[in-house]
A and B are shown apart, each in its own frame.
Chain A
Amino acid sequence: MTARSLIIEETPLVLYCLRRADDALILGHRLSEWCGHGPTLEEDMALSNMGLDLLGQARSLYSYAADVEGRGATEDGYAYLREERQYRNLLLAEQPNGDFAQTIARQFFYAAFADLFWRAMTSSADDTLAAIACKSEKEMAYHLRHSAEWVIRLGDGTGESHARMQAAVAAMWSFTGEMFAMDDAERELIEQGKAIDLGPLRDGWRATVSDVLRTATLDMPASSWMQQGGRAGRHGEYLGHILAELQHLQRSYPGAAW
């Protein structure tokens, strides 16, 4: 017996919550894969703690999506009973951990965005989203500081660490454009003051990224070709594998609890 997948009524607000929740869940899941494998004990704990922050943000957002959708879905249902195509996360979030440099590049690019995003969302006209933003922006400021320090330490480190950090920045770069993409559903919420216009965040993000990369003696990638698809449910080969691990238990033993 396997659990049936959810059918979701994706109103703009539900979709908006699920997109942000999926970013946080999938990236948090990736970070949790480091647990017990970190390069040092402190770093193992840092990566696990950041994963926990993201999981907490995901839970708040899924709970709110469930309230808004009002059809009896739960935070667990969204996480465990949606198909790959129903997941709305950024392609960046599902990229594999790779070496430590790749994990750091992925975290840095996301945190530099999420820090600005959640800070702006603290003034959302939607009280719940504003409250979630108040917690998330502080957490993401820590993630940004932590990952930026590593980008600098590795970039301005040995020949080997510099080469790996540069390669990681290049490998993650084409997934950064999707963070600023908006569609009609989001524009509707922006007009209502519930969501924020992502366009103006781009300059701030580029400024942070270019400052840190310069300090790290790394080159800012010049390519402007960007991959998209995650927001619409079109994922790379990685998400299916993540979901197989994440959902296996609840799919095989529906409602299992302990």
Chain B
Amino acid sequence: MNAAASDELLRERVIGIAGAVADPEIPVLTIADLGVLRDVAVDGGRIEVSITPTYSGCPAMNMIALEIEVAVEAAGLGRPAVRTVLSPAWTTDWMSETGRRKLKDYGIAPPARAAGRRALFGAETVPCARCNSADTEKLAEFASTSCKALWRCKTCLEPFDYFKCH
């Protein structure tokens, strides 16, 4: 097998291993589901993993980088370099369909797709993550983590988290 082909095989393995790292704040999602894993480059056995932050101040990024290093090393592939890339910027549209489904099953309403830039005081409708009712209201713009808002369902009366659209 030539060097380029073995690099490509290694790259695919690393994509699988790094992509399976869970988001520390929403552990049902992997960084592949989230779209945080941007790319893996392999050059003669040297591995570089690129990740992109969801939010500027996301405190999970350092943890994610560390867990990628640990997972790749544990697979016997050596220590990868983990690089943070900012461009193109992550948006909620980078989240996979699988990721959106897992999020909803976990009780968090997934972000509206391609919502674009909403009017400043424009109305949002977020269906209840539990019963799908559209009769919901926002309780707080900022909730348990910076990527979520707190909503309440007026049909089933349960509060739920909403992964904000960015």
The reply to whether the CB of B106 lies closer than 8 angstroms to some CB of chain A is: no
The reply to whether the CB of A45 lies closer than 8 angstroms to some CB of chain B is: yes
A148 lies within 8 A of B141 (CB): no
Q: How far is the CB of B87 from chain A (nearest CB, A)?
A: 3
Closest 5 interchain pairs by CB?
A: A56-B57, A56-B56, A134-B89, A131-B87, A52-B57
Please report the C-alpha to C-alpha distance between residue A139 and residue B143 in the assembled complex, in whole angstroms.
14
Inside 8 A of A42's CB, which chain B residues have their CB?
A: 139-140, 142, 150
Q: List 16 A-B contacts (CB under 8 A).
A: A49-B142, A52-B59, A53-B56, A53-B146, A127-B87, A128-B87, A131-B86, A131-B88, A135-B55, A135-B86, A135-B90, A138-B166, A139-B56, A141-B120, A145-B121, A146-B142
Q: How far is the CB of A210 from chain B (nearest CB, A)?
A: 14
Give the nearest-CB partner of B120 in chain A: A145
Could you tell me which residues of chain B, from 59 to 98, have a CB within 8 Å of some CB in chain A? 59, 86-90
Give the nearest-CB partner of B141 in chain A: A146
The reply to whether the CB of A54 lies closer than 8 angstroms to some CB of chain B is: yes
Residues A139 and B141 in contact in the complex (CB < 8 Å), given A53-B146, A134-B88, A145-B121: no
The reply to whether the CB of A91 lies closer than 8 angstroms to some CB of chain B is: no
Inside 8 A of B88's CB, which chain A residues have their CB?
A: 131, 134
B141 lies within 8 A of A46 (CB): yes
Please report the C-alpha to C-alpha distance between residue A53 and residue B86 in the assembled complex, in whole angstroms.
15
Please report the C-alpha to C-alpha distance between residue A128 and residue B46 in the assembled complex, in whole angstroms.
25
B53 lies within 8 A of A145 (CB): no
Binding site for B on A (CB under 8 A): 42, 45-46, 49-50, 52-57, 59-60, 127-128, 130-132, 134-136, 138-139, 141-142, 144-146, 148-149, 208
Inside 8 A of B141's CB, which chain A residues have their CB?
A: 46, 142, 145-146
Please report the C-alpha to C-alpha distance between residue A95 and residue B44 in the assembled complex, in whole angstroms.
54
Interface size class of chain B, counting residues whose CB lies under 8 Å from the partner chain: 20 to 34
Could you tell me which residues of chain B, from 90 to 139, have a CB within 8 Å of some CB in chain A? 90, 117, 120-121, 139
Inside 8 A of A131's CB, which chain B residues have their CB?
A: 86-89
Please report the C-alpha to C-alpha distance between residue A55 and residue B61 in the assembled complex, in whole angstroms.
14
A136 lies within 8 A of B86 (CB): no
A130 lies within 8 A of B140 (CB): no
Please report the C-alpha to C-alpha distance between residue A131 and residue B120 in the assembled complex, in whole angstroms.
22
Q: How far is the CB of A19 from chain B (nearest CB, A)?
A: 17
Known: A46-B142, A57-B56, A131-B86. 7 other contacts (CB 8 A): A45-B143, A52-B59, A59-B57, A60-B86, A135-B53, A136-B56, A145-B120
